[in-house]
Amino acid sequence: MRRKRWRCATWRKENRGPTVDNHEVAQRFEELADLLEFKGENAFKIRAYRRVARVLDDLTEDVAELAAAGTLRNLPGVGEATAKKINEYLETGKITRLEQAKKGVPPGIFDVLRIQGVGPKRAALLYKEIGVDGVDALEKAAQAHHVRDLPGMGEKSEENILRGIRLTRAGAERMLLSVALAAANAVVDELKSQRGLVSRITPAGSLRRRRESIGDVDILACGRDPAKIIQAFTHGSHVSDVLVAGDTKASVVVTRGPQVDLRVVEPKQFGAALQYFTGSKAHNIKLRGIAKQKKMKINEYGLFKGRKVVASAEEEDIYRALGMEPMPPELREDRGEIEAAIEGRLPKLVEHKDIKGDFHVHSSHSDGKHSISEMADAAKDAGYKFIVITDHSKSLRIANGLTEQRVRKQMKEIAALNRKLRGIRVLCGIEVDIKSDGTLDLPDGLLAELDVVIAAIHSAFKQSREKIMARMAVAAKNPHVDIIAHPTGRLIGQRDEYDVDVPELIRMAAATKTALEINAHPERLDLNDIYCRMAKEHGVKVAIGTDAHRAAGLDLMGLGVAVARRGWLAKRDVLNTNATPRFK
DNA sequence: GCCGTTTTCGGCCCGACTGTTTTCAGTCG
């Protein structure tokens, strides 16, 4: 699959909370942390700022509302000084401490810090000694061999810096979850295919946690001959560049693909390593703190009390030994899962096998490739009890949207098909367009006759928040609309959300008993994990739809389930788990 | 800068790899 180019401004933090403002405030704290790091200030202070940034990004409430209510300090990691800074930013658009820190630091330093192999110490050295104030200046200095003369630097460091610049420019960007999964599977399959090489091998990291976009791919393996595994990995058919290769770990860049890190561990330590390399970093840091309280130590080799191994072979053993329930990788983001695990109140997450049907499927009647009958066969093969055919409505001309007449014709075809089909039921639906003037594209009388109505915005993305929300209100309040599809309209790495107030939409959905969709298409994954959790907290049901335009598209359900799991959703929160779904 | 079964000061996660060093600092995850 082709690598996506990321055009929107917010690609670095795809897990945005309800409003842009949270993310915006978070970014200020990231900047502050970068600057203080560059200046060599107290590392713990820097970590504290980064923690604040992450907490703000993960927030399911509006930071401005918390500030107004005076409850900022209830947030973990936010103390008096930070609360003051947040208030200052909300009121004035500036943070005095940040402005001070910026003084005398050229803005290009932020980019220099993002080059692989250049950290705060080297960035400061380069700036002070030879005036490197940006990536271009750094490249020139390295090419002119001015870098190797600096203390602690040499020929190799210079080469590595140039390679770091190349890698960053070539696209050290994040990739879609689906792309990373494919790359990881290719590497894993190649290593597995070599007889007797690996006894266990599995992706770890953010891929295993199923984040919606992935930076590097992490893979964990064990086998009799670690050196041979590293050798096979670095000489794999997909490798274009070897970054590091040691006894137990190696990093490569895959041709037209991501950086892949492999770690080789002892079989008896596989569980500890899997836990460690699955992360997230924040989750692990909290876990380490808990181990420390219990006078234990945790690292990638195991959980230790003094020299004694308390747990190491399986992940579950480590969590249990720390006094908590083991938890699925999708929850490990330090968003309250550790506290829940200690108190024994982790949700039992929805699983792929619970899914009985797909709510969002297109056919050749509009812009799908396959007939209704072919889609039904594919759904039956997937083990489903139902699918909902939801072709586009007429105003979406580019997608050959259905007129009222054609909808009626489709209803007849589906009725006839259902008389023949065994073991699967085709429900008659529509993806009705919420037009830019705030009306629905088909009359209520017709919508009332359909089994399932999903409504979606496909036009006028640039409208004001008021207009977008007015359109959403029309859809949610319509008694025939069952689901609002891809509610924010974002395309990961390509297009930002339209100006939808998601917390307000969720309140609307709750009040009108309208479900919200997780669109499982890899570029959408919309709602995202944070919004899903917010929906659940408000009692709003979620419907997963693959938006399949061909039979193979039904396979994307796994990505939708992953988002649901990341959003803490249980079986009862997801409408697809009911073989005969009921609506308004 | 935050935080408290170590409570208002003194901690704050931990190890691998690299390149430059004569024993370790810097970077990364």
Please tell me whether residues A416 and A331 are part of one structural domain. no
Q: Give strand letter and number of the nucleotide nearest A155 (CA to C1').
A: B19
Q: Give strand letter and number of the nucleotide nearest A287 (CA to C1').
A: B13
Please tell me whether residues A151 and A196 are part of one structural domain. no
Tokens 């009222």 belong to A404
Q: Give strand letter and number of the nucleotide nearest A113 (CA to C1').
A: B27
Tokens of A461: 């993305």
Contact between A275 and A303 under an 8 Å Cβ cutoff? The reply is: no
Which sign does the torsion angle of CA A141, A145, A147, A151 carry? negative
In the 8-state DSSP scheme, what is residue A515?
E
Task: Give me the number of domains chain A comprises.
Answer: 5
Q: Give strand letter and number of the nucleotide nearest A299 (CA to C1').
A: B14
Please tell me whether residues A328 and A447 are part of one structural domain. no
- Taking the C-alpha atoms of residue A389 and residue A366, their distance in angstroms, rounded to an integer, is 10
Q: Which of A70, A102, A134 is a domain's end point?
A: A102
CA–C1' span, A152 to B21, in Å? 8
Q: Which of A220, A245, A264 is a domain's end point?
A: A264
Report the CATH number at residue A508. Answer: 3.20.20.140
Q: Considering just the CA atoms, what is the radius of gyration of chain A in Å?
A: 26
Please tell me whether residues A204 and A318 are part of one structural domain. no
Tokens of A339: 């506290």
Which sign does the torsion angle of CA A51, A57, A60, A64 carry? positive
Please tell me whether residues A462 and A329 are part of one structural domain. no
CA–C1' span, A111 to B13, in Å? 27
Tokens 């007449």 belong to A405
CA–C1' span, A278 to B7, in Å? 33
Which nucleotides of chain B are near protein (any atom < 7 Å from a CB)?
1-3, 5-6, 11-21, 25-29
Please tell me whether residues A250 and A286 are part of one structural domain. no
Residue A76, φ and ψ in degrees, nearest 5? -65, 135
Q: Which of A53, A69, A102 is a domain's end point?
A: A102
Report the CATH number at residue A162. Answer: 1.10.150.20
Q: Is residue A42 part of a domain?
A: yes
Tokens of A521: 């298409």
Report the CATH number at residue A277. Answer: 3.30.210.10
Tokens of A545: 């739809």
Q: Tell if the pTM clears 0.95, that is, is over it.
A: no
Q: Is residue A7 part of a domain?
A: no
Show the 3-state SS of A154-174. CHHHHHHHHHHHHHHHHHCCC
CA–C1' span, A310 to B17, in Å? 28
Please tell me whether residues A75 and A196 are part of one structural domain. no
CA–C1' span, A237 to B4, in Å? 53
Where in the sequence is the domain holding A462, given as residue range(s)?
352-577
Residue A484's DSSP bridge partners are A455, A516
Please tell me whether residues A166 and A183 are part of one structural domain. no
pLDDT tens series, chain A, 584 aa = 222 333 333 333 444 444 457 888 988 998 899 888 888 888 888 889 988 988 888 887 888 888 999 999 988 899 999 999 999 999 999 999 999 999 888 888 988 988 888 888 899 999 989 999 999 999 999 999 999 988 888 888 898 888 888 877 766 567 889 989 988 999 999 999 999 999 999 999 999 999 998 988 999 999 999 999 999 999 998 888 888 898 889 999 888 778 899 999 999 999 999 999 999 988 998 898 888 888 888 888 999 988 889 999 999 999 999 999 999 999 999 999 999 999 999 999 999 999 999 999 999 999 999 999 999 999 999 999 999 999 999 999 888 999 999 999 999 999 999 999 999 999 999 999 999 999 999 999 999 999 999 999 999 998 999 999 999 999 999 999 999 999 999 988 777 889 999 999 999 999 999 999 999 999 999 999 999 999 999 999 999 999 999 999 999 999 999 999 999 999 999 999 999 887 76
Report the CATH number at residue A222. Answer: 3.30.460.10
Cβ neighbours for A571, distance < 8 A, ≥ 6 positions apart: A348, A350, A351, A354, A577
Q: Is residue A584 part of a domain?
A: no
Please tell me whether residues A428 and A541 are part of one structural domain. yes
